[in-house]
C-alpha cells in the first residue's frame, strides 16, 4: 500500500504498520493535501515514533504523526532523495544520489533543519549508518564502501571470498545490531542477491532469496531477521539468514509496495 510509480488514488499514500511480532497492525494514511502523485522512496521511524518520509517526485522530506496521520513538518531538497538513515543525537541523513551528497539533518522535536553535507566519490545508490561511519552503495565503482563523517573512504568491498564480483547496484542496505557482532545486509537490484557483511566489510554470506525473482528491498526487523519484499510481486517474507535461510511467508499486500522501514520497538 506504499506508493509505486503509479499515481495514487488518494491524497498521498498509505503505510502499513506491523507489530513487534510481525503481525499486521493497521494502515496509516499519510495526509499531505498540497501534494498529489507523490513517490515515497524511503522512510524511517524517528525517536518520537513518528515517521520521516522521503518523496522523490517533489524532492521533499516530510515528518508525519502516525497517530493522527498529519504532516508535522517538511523541507525541500536540492536534489531527489534516494535513501535515508538515522544518526545519533536527533539527526538523520539523506542520500542525494545525483549530486553524490549525503545531507545531514537535525530532526529534533520532529522539525527538519539542514546541517552539514558529506561529499561522496562515485555514483551512490545506497546508504546506512554504523558506529560513526556511513555505509554507501556505489554503482560506479561497483562496490560497498565505509566512509567517515567527513566523506573520506575508509574501506570498500566489491568481490566475495572467491574473487567473484558480488555488487553491481547495491541499492538497499540495512544494519542489524541485535547480535553480538553487527551485520550489514546489502540487497543488489541487479544480481538479485542479498549479501551479509561484517562491520569491517568482510563478506560473511551471499544468498538468493527463496523465490523466482530477487529482493526489491529489505529491512531489519530485529532478532536476526530480515523483512523482505519480492521485486515483482506484492509478497512479504521474513528471512533468518543466520539460520540456514529459514523463511516464513508474511502476507500479500493489496498493491505493490515501494519500501519497508525498520521500526524500533
Residue 262 sits at φ, ψ, to 5 deg, of: -85, 130
The upper half-sphere exposure of residue 129, i.e. CA atoms within 13 Å in the direction of its Cβ, equals 18
What pLDDT sits at residue 229?
64
The upper half-sphere exposure of residue 9, i.e. CA atoms within 13 Å in the direction of its Cβ, equals 2
Give the C-alpha separation, 166 to 185, whole Å: 13
Give which of 208, 209, 241 is closest to 224, Cα–Cα. Answer: 241
Give which of 64, 84, 86 is closest to 73, Cα–Cα. Answer: 64
- Taking the chain (265 residues) in consecutive chunks of 10 residues, what is each chunk's mean pLDDT? 31 44 58 68 88 91 88 94 94 95 96 96 94 95 95 95 91 83 88 89 83 54 60 56 47 42 34
DSSP strand pairing (225-230 vs 113-119): unpaired
- SS3 state at 241: helix
Domains and CATH numbers, the chain: 13-252 (2.130.10.10)
Written as nine digits, the cell of 192 is 538479485
Give the C-alpha separation, 196 to 188, whole Å: 11
The upper half-sphere exposure of residue 55, i.e. CA atoms within 13 Å in the direction of its Cβ, equals 21
Neighbours of 141 (CB within 10 A): 12
Give the C-alpha separation, 120 to 140, whole Å: 11
The upper half-sphere exposure of residue 35, i.e. CA atoms within 13 Å in the direction of its Cβ, equals 23
What pLDDT sits at residue 154?
96
What pLDDT sits at residue 191?
84
- Report the alpha-carbon angle 175-229-147, nearest 5: 25
What pLDDT sits at residue 13?
41
Amino acid at each position: 500500500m506504499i506508493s509505486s510509480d503509479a499515481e495514487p488514488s488518494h491524497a498521498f499514500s498509505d503505510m502499513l504498520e506491523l507489530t513487534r511480532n510481525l503481525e499486521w497492525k493497521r494502515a496509516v494514511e499519510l495526509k499531505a493535501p498540497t501534494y498529489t502523485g507523490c513517490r515515497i522512496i524511503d522512510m524511517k521511524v524517528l525517536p518520537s515514533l513518528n515517521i520521516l518520509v522521503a518523496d522523490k517526485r517533489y524532492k521533499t522530506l516530510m515528518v508525519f504523526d502516525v497517530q493522527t496521520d498529519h504532516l508535522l513538518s517538511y523541507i525541500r531538497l536540492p536534489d531527489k532523495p534516494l535513501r535515508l538513515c538515522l544518526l545519533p543525537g536527533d539527526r538523520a541523513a539523506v542520500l542525494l544520489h545525483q549530486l553524490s551528497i549525503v545531507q545531514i539533518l537535525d530532526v529534533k522535536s520532529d522539525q527538519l533543519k539542514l546541517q552539514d553535507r558529506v561529499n561522496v566519490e562515485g555514483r551512490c545508490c545506497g546508504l546506512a549508518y554504523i558506529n560513526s561511519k556511513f555505509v554507501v552503495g556505489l554503482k560506479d565503482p561497483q562496490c560497498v564502501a565505509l566512509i567517515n563523517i567527513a566523506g573520506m573512504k575508509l574501506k570498500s568491498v566489491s568481490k566475495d571470498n572467491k574473487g567473484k564480483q558480488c555488487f553491481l547496484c547495491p541499492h538497499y542496505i540495512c544494519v542489524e545490531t541485535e547480535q553480538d557482532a553487527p551485520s550489514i545486509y546489502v540487497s543488489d537490484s541487479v544480481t538479485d542477491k542479498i549479501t551479509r557483511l561484517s562491520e569491517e566489510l568482510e563478506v560473511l554470506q551471499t544468498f538468493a532469496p527463496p523465490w523466482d525473482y530477487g529482493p526489491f528491498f529489505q529491512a531489519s526487523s530485529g532478532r536476526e531477521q530480515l523483512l523482505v519484499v519480492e521485486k515483482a510481486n506484492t509478497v512479504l517474507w521474513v528471512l533468518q539468514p543466520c539460520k540456514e535461510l529459514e523463511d516464513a511467508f508474511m502476507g500479500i499486500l493489496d498493491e505493490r509496495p515501494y519500501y519497508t522501514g525498520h521500526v524500533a520497538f
